[in-house]
Amino acid sequence: MTSKHGSHAHDDGRAAGGHAHAGSFLTTYVFSKDHKVIGIQFLFSTLLWFLVGGLLALGIRWQVAWPWAEMPVIGKMLFSGEGGQISPEFYTILFTMHATVMIFFVIIPILAGAFGNFLIPLMIGAEDMAFPTLNMLSYWFMWPAFIAMGSSFFVEGGAAKSGWTSYPPLTLTDLNGQTLWLIGLTFVGVSSMMGSINYMTTIIQMRAPGMTMFRLPMTIWAMFITAVLQAFALPVLTAAGFMQLGDRLLGTGFFIAEGWTANNAAMASGGGQPLLWQHLFWFYSHPAVYIMILPAMGMVSDMISCFSRKPLFGYKPMVYSIAGIAGFGFIVWGHHMFVSGMNPALGMAFMVSTMMIALPSAIKTFNWLGTVWGGNIRFTTPMLFALSFVSMFIIGGLSGIFMAATPVDIFIHDTYFIVAHFHYVLFAGTAMGVWGAIYFWYPKMFGRMMNEFWGHVHFFFTFIFLNGTFFTMHILGVVGFPRRLADPYHYDTFRHLQPLNEFMTWCAIGMVAVQIIFALNFILSMFFGPRAGRNPWHANGLEWQAPSPPGHGNFDFQPIVYRGPYEYGSPEVDTDYYPQTQPPPEKKPGLAAHPHGEPAVAH
Amino acid sequence: MGKFWSLLFLMVPVLGVASFVVAPWYKHWLPHDISQNGHVIDHLFYFILWLTGAVFVVTEVALFLFLWRYDSKGTHNPVRYTHGSHSLEIVWTIIPSAVLLFIAIYQMNAWAASKIDNPAAGPDGIFGTADDMPATLEVTGRQFEWRLRYPVPEEIRKKALQREGDAESSEDPIKDLYVVNELHLPVNEGILIDLKSADVLHSFFLPNVRVKQDAVPGMKIPVWFRTTEIGKYDLVCAELCGWGHYKMKGRLTVESREDFNKWLEQKYREQEATQDSQLADSKAKGDSE
């Protein structure tokens, strides 16, 4: 179906754009200042790390299903000293680095770095970002982080192994791995900071004529609010990281209690508080949870409206609820600390704010359902991923209420219930949304379509296996099955859960395996996919009026915006879409000013 | 294919609900509750489960129905050209916020009973001060074991020493009992624990008692509960504390007051005996040197 649309487009979409500069290979593809190249650089890097993070997850699943069993084939290679088994120490490295890689090298940079970079100038009708050099640096500052984290596996003592939350004082007993982790994190923070300043400035300053704030697509609103969140929350994490580095290397005692000792750790002055780290860490990392979901929500809103051929239901409530999530996001961090020893009266305050943050999420869900209702739904691959985002986010959102209820949290805190919850939000939600976005904007990035049939196959198996892996985690959590245990069957209470864990591990293996389909589709379509044309999905956004792929400078005409991005099925025109740049019917003479504003013939 | 994909999305609520219905049959469910306060937490869990379960089913089925009904291949009805509904937005803002606020208020007493209303706090109720009532015992997390320190009542101490028949060697006996990982508690009695950590963070988790509390270096955190059933249960460390976190396992034995006193006496006698022999050893060493 998509190729059919593609073939009807007016030109082959490869117009070079009005501003193409000839540059050397190095400045065009490596140290490029073009937001599209930087976005694609982010996309490739994060997809590679996605693979690494997925394999680390399989290591965790292997150990939980069959503790101390010899890993087939690769076990002897990786752990020759342990007889092919995962050692308990390596197990702690596995889950620490799985989370670290997935959060800091995959989800945050693929949303903000890859899609934020690629889409923001295109969707607001700008030539490029406000600060192209800063933009380039934001990508290259990821590399010291990649190197620090990657090399930490090979230093004495191995990579960081105190959990991605890095709670002191356990982290202070770690060797070099933790130092490299903190250094890596600092670089990720600097990179994100450069990105977020750039995004805010670009969205505020560089919108095309007529592109008012309330004509912005939800993707851009989400990216904008995410950038604000990042700009205000990140400095706290960076500062906390430096404080922990100080405790490790300089003999300070921010997080060290009076008279504290542990093996391997140098004696320190003391007088600090371990809970202080948790407050600082979650002051960033809770907003970070929204940094990891809001852009996906924005992109999913765009896809659902496009493939329902219907305006987005409740545009302004959607914008306000994103803003509401961001606002509340700053005052709920304490819900990670209900049983941490924090004053329980404070816990009650955080409980109330946490309950209320469920509200904007509920509003968004109802509006997505409202968008689908009465539409003319096309089950394309991006649409399926977007719909699964909604379906899965309902689960992830509702399971959050259990944790927000402080008395219930006493029981399920640090069990697999929370593991289920955040995987439903971050994997079944964000990662599925990102896959949808890749299928959706791939033609714009590379000028060719991805294969729809294999896209559907990829979606089907990913959807089945992800639910097999993660839904069952709720059940484990109800039994109280703790996370981060190398051998949970040590406890009588959990011994009967092993068969369920084996089932989950098989699902996880299947889930990673079907990504081969995606990888092949992604790579091969770049060379053999059908040419996309400018607007293969018959969508309204500005980016679909630019050539595919857009040349340097993006647009070969000056885009002028006449309406919001969700005018599908408008009675004003005969087509079922109404691009933002298309002048209203009575102003027809204006059409000549931009040759590509004309809609393609509807079928 | 639209129908096929709609049905796939219908499978989410169908199988989701089914797995929660089947799980208790296989004992994949809340562990047996042996505490006085646990049923409050369980009740709240069920309350939220039913509530979220209803919302889950309604929204997921609505999604299915819309996909089934508005598949572009099946129907050729014109798209409903609407940008939203102000009154609907108000409805689905006010109802969820009322429900959420209700849950928030409804649970406050349960939280207070578990974490705020410290039985040891004086009438003025300052959090965490255990001055009015002595703690039943002190629990200290340490890589990778639970160190327990029981105060031993004087009559039990006397009894233990008498039976040993050698009061002389215990001129300066240690008054407390130190044990590792074996948490014994008298049934139907209020328990107050001073929770500490000797090195890193740990978490004191009794699944059957619905109690979990992190142990933090530099802090003494009160934990209280009351068990109601005799038996042996798991004591789990629920906060990552290093490579041996998985084996930081304690055993909770709930027994009658009588058995508990006997256990206390016996353990205390054993402790004194080893204490004495150690004392004798060091004395002998000192003499020989």
3-state helix/strand/coil string of chain B: CHHHHHHHHHHHHHHHHHHHHHHHHHCCCCCCCCECCHHHHHHHHHHHHHHHHHHHHHHHHHHHHHHHHCECCCCCCCCCCCCCCHHHHHHHHHHHHHHHHHHHHHCHHHHHHHHHCCCCCCCCCCCCCCCCCCCCEEEEEECCEEEEEEECCHHHHHHHHHHHCCCCCCCCCCCEEEEECEEEEECCCEEEEEEEECCCCEEEEEHHHCEEEEECCCCCEEEEEEECCCEEEEEEECCCCCCCHHHCCEEEEEECHHHHHHHHHHHHHHHHHHHHHHHHHHHHHHHHC
Q: Kindly state whether residues B173 and B33 are assigned to the same domain.
A: no
Q: Do A378 and B72 touch (CB under 8 A)?
A: yes
In sequence order, what are the beta bridge partners of B131?
none
Query: How many separate domains does chain B show?
Result: 2
Given a cut of 60, is residue A587 above it in pLDDT?
no
Give dist(CA A550, CA A201) in Å, integer. Answer: 22
Reply yes or no on whether the pLDDT at A265 is more than 90.
Answer: no
Residue A22 pLDDT > 60: no
Going by C-alpha positions, the residue among B205, B204, B208 that lies closest to residue B216 is B204
Q: What is the CATH number of the domain that holds A407?
A: 1.20.210.10
Computed over every residue of chain A, the mean pLDDT equals 90
Band the pLDDT of A500: cuts 50, 70, 90. Answer: very high
- B75 neighbourhood in chain A, CB within 8 Å: 376
Find the domain containing A465 and state its range.
293-532
Pair (B279, B170) in one structural domain: yes
State whether B214 and B278 are in the same domain: yes
Chain B neighbors of A496, CB-CB under 8 A: 26-28
Q: Pick the range with the lowest mean pLDDT from A115-124, A363-372, B269-278.
A: B269-278
Q: For residues B119 and B227, which has the higher predicted lDDT (pLDDT)?
A: B227
Residues of chain A with C-beta less than 8 angstroms from the C-beta of B2: 377, 379
Residue-level pLDDT at B120 = 72
Q: Which stretch of A420-429, B110-119, B164-173 has the lowest confidence by average pLDDT?
A: B164-173
Decide the pairing of beta strands B145-151 and B137-142: antiparallel
Residues A18, A117, single domain; the answer is no
Contact A373/B66, CB-based, under 8 Å?
A: yes
Please tell me whether residues B147 and B65 are part of one structural domain: no
- Domain membership of residue B125 (yes or no) is no
The complex scores an ipTM of: 0.92
What six digits make up the tokens of A266?
């140098």
Using the 8-state DSSP alphabet, how is residue A267 labeled?
A: P
Shared domain for A432 and A496, answered yes or no, is yes
Beta-bridge mates of residue B186? B255
Report if residue A481 sits inside a domain: yes
Q: Does A273 fall in a domain?
A: no
Distance CA B17, CA B27 (A): 16
Tell me if B80 is assigned to some domain.
Answer: no
Q: Are residues A458 and A579 in the same domain?
A: no
Answer yes or no: do A216 and A95 share one domain: yes
The number of domains in chain A is: 3
What pLDDT digit, counting tens, does each position of A305-353 carry? 999 999 999 999 999 999 999 999 999 999 999 999 999 999 999 999 9
| pLDDT reported for residue A19 | 45
Q: Is residue A93 part of a domain?
A: yes
Are B79 and A345 a contacting pair at CB < 8 A?
no
Do A115 and A180 share a structural domain? yes
> Taking CB atoms and an 8 Å limit, are A405 and B101 in contact across chains?
no
Task: Note whether residue B130 is domain-resident.
Answer: no
Q: Which residue has the higher pLDDT, A263 or A335?
A: A335
The answer to the question of residue A274 being in a domain is no
Residues A509 and A566 reside in one and the same domain:
no
> In terms of domains, do A495 and A398 share one?
yes
User: Which residues in chain B are closer than 8 Å to A91, comparing Cβ atoms?
Assistant: 243
Q: Is residue B18 domain-shared with residue B106, that is, in the same domain?
A: yes
Alpha-carbon distance A325 to nearest alpha carbon in chain B (angstroms)? 14
By CA distance, what is A572's nearest residue in B? B81
| Under 8 Å between Cβ of B164 and B158 | no
Whether residue B128 lies inside any domain: the answer is: no
Q: Is A475 close to B249, i.e. CB distance below 8 A?
A: no
Considering the domain boundaries, does residue B131 fall inside one? Answer: no
Q: Are A191 and A145 in contact (CB under 8 A)?
A: yes
Distance of CA A465 to the CA centre of its chain: 20
Q: Would you say residue A267 lies in a domain?
A: no
Considering the domain architecture, whether residues A402 and A324 belong to the same structural domain is answered as: yes
Rounded mean pLDDT of A553-567? 95
Residue B14 scores a pLDDT above 90: yes
Q: Which among A359, A369, A460 has CB closest to B96? A: A359
Q: A434 and A301, same structural domain?
A: yes
Q: Are B56 and B155 within one domain?
A: no
Instruction: Name every chain A residue with its beta carbon within 8 A of the beta carbon of B28.
Output: 475-476, 478-479, 496-497, 500
Q: Could A475 and B23 be called an inter-chain contact, meaning their C-beta atoms sit closer than 8 Å?
A: yes
Which residues have CB under 8 Å from B276's CB, separation 6+?
B166, B169, B170
Going by the DSSP 8-state scheme, the letter that residue A534 receives in this structure is S
- Count how many pairs of residues, chain A against chain B, have C-beta atoms within 8 Å: 313
For position B266, which CATH number holds?
A: 2.60.40.420
Q: Is the pLDDT of residue B130 over 50?
A: no
Record: contact B214-A340, CB cut-off 8 A: yes
B107 and B165 inside one domain: no
Point out the domain boundary residue: A257, A279, A302: A257
Region A285-302 average pLDDT: 96
At which of A479, A508, A532 does a domain end?
A532
CB-closest option in A163, A487, A570 to B246: A487
Of A203, A236, A257, which residue sits at a domain end? A257
Inspect the interface and report whether the beta carbons of B93 and A363 lie closer than 8 Å: yes
A43 with A92, same domain: the answer is yes
**Do B162 and B267 have their domain in common?**
yes
pLDDT of residue A271: 81
Question: pTM score, two decimals?
Answer: 0.92
Residue A269 belongs to a domain: no
Q: Name the least confident of A530-534, B14-18, B272-276.
A: B272-276
- Rounded to an integer, the average pLDDT of A428-445 is 97
Q: Is A426 a domain residue?
A: yes
Q: What whole-number percentage of chain A has pLDDT above 90?
A: 82
CA distances from B212 to A24, A275, A339 (A): 61, 17, 7
Of the pLDDT bands very low, low, confident and very high (cuts 50, 70, 90), residue B118 is confident
Predicted confidence at residue A8, as pLDDT, reads 38
- Mean pLDDT, range A145-167, rounded to an integer: 93
Q: How far is CA B122 from CA A344, B117, B129, B133, B241, in A?
A: 17, 10, 8, 9, 34
Only one residue has tokens 């670089």, namely: A187
Domain of B150 in residue numbering reads as 137-288
Q: Please judge whether B52 and A401 are an interchain contact, meaning their C-beta atoms are less than 8 angstroms apart.
A: yes
Please tell me which of the candidates B9, B27, B114 has its beta carbon nearest to residue A410. B114
Tell me the three state secondary structure of residue A377: strand
Mean pLDDT throughout A85-105? 95
Cα(A17)–Cα(B202) distance, integer angstroms: 60
pLDDT for B197 beyond 70: yes
B59, B105, B142: which to substitute to probe chain A, counting the most A Cβ within 10 Å? Answer: B59
In this structure, the answer to whether residues A160 and A191 fall within a common structural domain is yes
SS3 state at A405: coil
Same domain, A303 and A452: yes
Same domain, yes or no: B214 and B268: yes
Q: Does residue A70 register a pLDDT over 90?
A: no
For residue A355, give the nearest of B103, B236, B244 by CB distance. B103
In a domain, B262, yes or no: yes
